[in-house]
Amino acid sequence: MKDILYAPWRDEYITSKKIVGCVFCHISTHEKEDEELHVLYRDEHCFIVMNKFPYTPGHFMIIPHSHTDKLEALDSAVWLHMSSLAQKCVRLLKEGFNAQGVNIGMNLGRAGGAGIAEHIHMHLVPRWERDTNFITAIADTRVYSTDFEKIYRKIKSLMPKYIDV
């Protein structure tokens, strides 16, 4: 007989409505659904959204509104704006969320490891000393130590302090 691991908190993943087309374009154009979509911030150039499948608690992404898979084609003003937001968000994660470090990254193209390759996005992943454990190494499984919604509300409440909203 096989062991069964129940994860009822994943029910939303199975039962929630599916987004057709580019998920980031959907989030970009559905401002009235920001709470449901876990948007932390938006302006005329880009938006910041929680990663629905985070590496660590507090993992979010900065995403341009313009749909492109080519960083080299992105308007330079938008890229500079994203970079400025990244600096402010690193400060937010370190000072407001007590992260001891932050990974920043972009996976460009499917071959580059992008899960959503058709729309570029920048990951900000807060890190802490010893924040990985054996289960990550041997079972390709992550342990998420706190409630996703609680983390979303905490980071969203910090945004005005670190980013001019």
What is the model's pTM? 0.83
Tokens of 159: 């945004």
Stretch (H or E) spanning 161 = helix 148-162
Beta-carbon contacts of residue 160 (< 8 Å; ≥ 6 apart): none
Mean model confidence pLDDT for the chain = 87
Residues in the chain predicted with pLDDT less than 50, given as ranges, are 134-135, 138
Q: Which amino acid does the sequence have at 131? A: D
Among residues 58, 12, 49, 37, the alpha carbon closest in space to that of 151 is found at 58
Q: Residue written as tokens 């876990």?
A: 38
> In terms of CATH, what superfamily is 20-162?
HIT-like (3.30.428.10)
Calculate what percentage of the chain has a pLDDT beyond 90.
70
Active site residues: 121
Whole-number pLDDT of residue 17: 66
pLDDT at 55 (0 to 100):
84
Q: Which helix (H) or strand (E) holds 41?
A: strand 39-42
